[in-house]
Amino acid sequence: MTEIKRRSILQSFSALAVGSAALMKTGSLQAARDEVNQSVDGWPDMQYQTLGKTGFEGSRLVFGCGAALSAGQANDLLEPALESGINVFDVGYRNYYKDAEENLAPFLKKHDDKIFTISKANPEVDLEWDEEVDTATARQAASNWSTFLDQSLSELGVEHLDAYYVMAGNNVSLIKNDEMYEAFLTAKQAGKVDHWGVSTHQNAEKLLLAMAETGRYALAQIAITPAGWYDWIDKGILDDGKAMTDLRDVLDTARAAGIGLIGMKAGRYLAGRRFLGWGKPDAFDEYYEKDLLQARLTSFQRSYAYVLAHGLDAVNADMQSWQHLRENHYATTEVTRQFFV
């Protein structure tokens, strides 16, 4: 047998295995074909929303590159994601996301003019969420953030980013601090970044209001679910009695200040935890109207559709498989809006 024929047979078996897996997961022959061919033909049109004062018309689904590209797991999903209409790609610095920025670099080199690219870094200072920041700590945080921005630009192989976040920002005094703002302005004036934002899993309500008060921020990435705030530290829903609908005033205040709102972890709680047993698919069912609850959607798709209909501009999803890309894309398109009339 020639090497060419042998390679062709192996590729055919591989494609058959992938397609069979997709067929078993979805029951859809078309989904199986799409997974083999990585085709987005026939997918619903992506919806777009202006992301705050950036003025950018961003896809309502953001491709979360951090975990997905940390070891190159989802590199092959980048091109299909762009073809499907996703034009916002979010990544993060090496200290947390390993090789993610480096793996995104070739894609960014090809498509930088078509997409909105976000990265982020934790300022890495010893500061509790409720502690008042002193001058020395603020200066160190600003210096660290600036250094990490330069490292991110190098990893990504670019001289400019559309936005760079303060990652894991949970301290109000740091978010309002002038030293941090000066670091951003210096970077902006140098042409390194256009917009400033915050990514947070903790203390989000107070943080959003503080960000709005300063008028300095264009984007906020927040961990929010139909049941309210998701706390990454506790891996649960914040026990403050506030569902997402109770937080609309906070979200609207941020939006009025020009802050584009991107959700994350909208469905993470549904996945459950290993030591407690995986899966809580009905955790948010009490918040859904009958039509949404009865729709042929997964529990994750319902959570994404719901948060978009109740105050968010977009949702960031960690997509490491073709199935997740397809399902999340569907959940964030016009198709699901019918349930929120």
Per-residue pLDDT tens for 57-83?
999 999 999 999 999 999 999 999 999
Instruction: Choose the weakest-confidence range: 174-178, 241-245, 272-276.
Output: 272-276
- Whose tokens are 């993060």? That residue is 92
Predicted TM-score (pTM) above 0.75? yes
* pLDDT the model gives residue 329: 97
Per-residue pLDDT tens for 3-45?
333 333 333 333 333 443 443 444 555 555 556 678 999 999 9
Question: What is the phi/psi pair of residue 150, to 5°?
Answer: -60, -40
Give percent of the chain with pLDDT exceeding 90.
Answer: 84
* pLDDT the model gives residue 35: 64
Q: Could you count the other beta carbons within 10 Å of the beta carbon of residue 314? A: 27
For the chain, the average pLDDT equals 90
Per-residue pLDDT tens for 266-322?
999 999 877 667 789 999 999 999 999 999 999 999 999 999 999 999 999 999 999
Spatial CA neighbour of 321 closest among 42, 81, 14: 81
pLDDT at 202 over 50: yes
Question: What is the phi/psi pair of residue 35, to 5°?
Answer: -65, -40
Distance CA 303, CA 227 (A): 10
223: DSSP letter? E
Which whole-number Å values give the CA distances from 210 to 99, 108, 233, in the listed order? 33, 33, 21
* pLDDT the model gives residue 341: 73
Spatial CA neighbour of 202 closest among 251, 243, 236, 226: 236
Distance CA 99, CA 94 (A): 6
